[in-house]
Amino acid sequence: MHHQTASISSGIDDNSFRRTAMNDSVPYVTVKTAWEWLSANPNAVLIDVRCEPEWRYAGVPVLDSLRKRPLLLSWLLRPYANPNPDFRGQLIMSVLSSRQTLLFLSRTGRRSAAAVRHVLPDFPNSYSIRGGFEGPRDDSGHRGRLDGWKAAGLPWRQD
C-alpha cells in the first residue's frame, strides 16, 4: 500500500474560480482552494468521479485528517465510457442538501467538468477541481507531477 502525505505545494495557481476554455459554463477551483474549502466547511463534499480501476491503480484522495471520506461515484461507466444514467440520483441519495458545496474530481478535470455541468441546475454550489487527481502528462509521459491533487502534495493512498 502506498501512502502520500505532504503539505500543499506553493506552486499551485491560487486563483480560486476559473472557467475552463472548453467548458465556460462550469465553475472550477484549484486543488489548493478545494482542500481549503474541505478543511473549513464541514458540509463540503469531495466527489471522485473516476472509475473503480482508477481508484484502485492510481489511488484515491485521503481526507482522514478532516474526518471525511471522498464520495466515489463514477461519471462514466465501463467498458464503453457512457455517462452513468443514475449519476444524479446517486448523488441526491449521497448528499445532505442541494446547497452543499460539492467539489468534483476526475483524473485531469475533464470528466469532473462534465459531471458538474450535468448537476449544476440541481446543485448550484458544484465545482470542478482544476488539474484533477493526476493532472496532465509531463515531458516523460507521467502524470501526477505538473498539476492536480498528487502534484499539490495532498494526501492520497494506493492500495
The model's confidence at residue 7, banded by pLDDT at 50, 70 and 90, is: very low
Q: Which amino acid is residue 18, in one-letter code?
A: R
Quote the pTM value. Answer: 0.83
Q: Does the pLDDT of residue 41 top 60, yes or no? A: yes
Q: Does the pLDDT of residue 12 top 90, yes or no? A: no
pLDDT tens-place string over residues 44-58: 999 999 999 999 999
Mean pLDDT of 26-32: 95
Query: Which pLDDT score is estimated for 24?
Result: 59
pLDDT tens-place string over residues 124-145: 999 999 999 998 888 887 777 7
Q: Could you give the angle at the alpha carbon of 27 between the alpha carbons of 25 and 32, nearest 5°?
A: 155
Query: Which pLDDT score is estimated for 1?
Result: 44
Query: Which pLDDT score is estimated for 112?
Result: 97
Residue 98: other Cβ atoms inside 10 A: 15
- The chain-wide mean pLDDT, for the chain, equals 85
Distance, CA of 105 to CA of 107 (rounded, Å)? 7
pLDDT tens-place string over residues 69-126: 999 999 999 887 899 999 999 999 999 899 999 999 999 999 999 999 999 999 999 9
Q: Is the dihedral of CA 156, 104, 55, 111 positive or negative?
A: negative
Q: Which domains does the chain have, with CATH numbers?
A: 2-158 (3.40.250.10)
CB-side exposure of 152: number of CA atoms within 13 Å? 25
Q: Which three cell numbers stand for residue 145?
A: 507531477
Query: Which pLDDT score is estimated for 108?
Result: 93
Q: Does the pLDDT of residue 23 top 50, yes or no? A: no
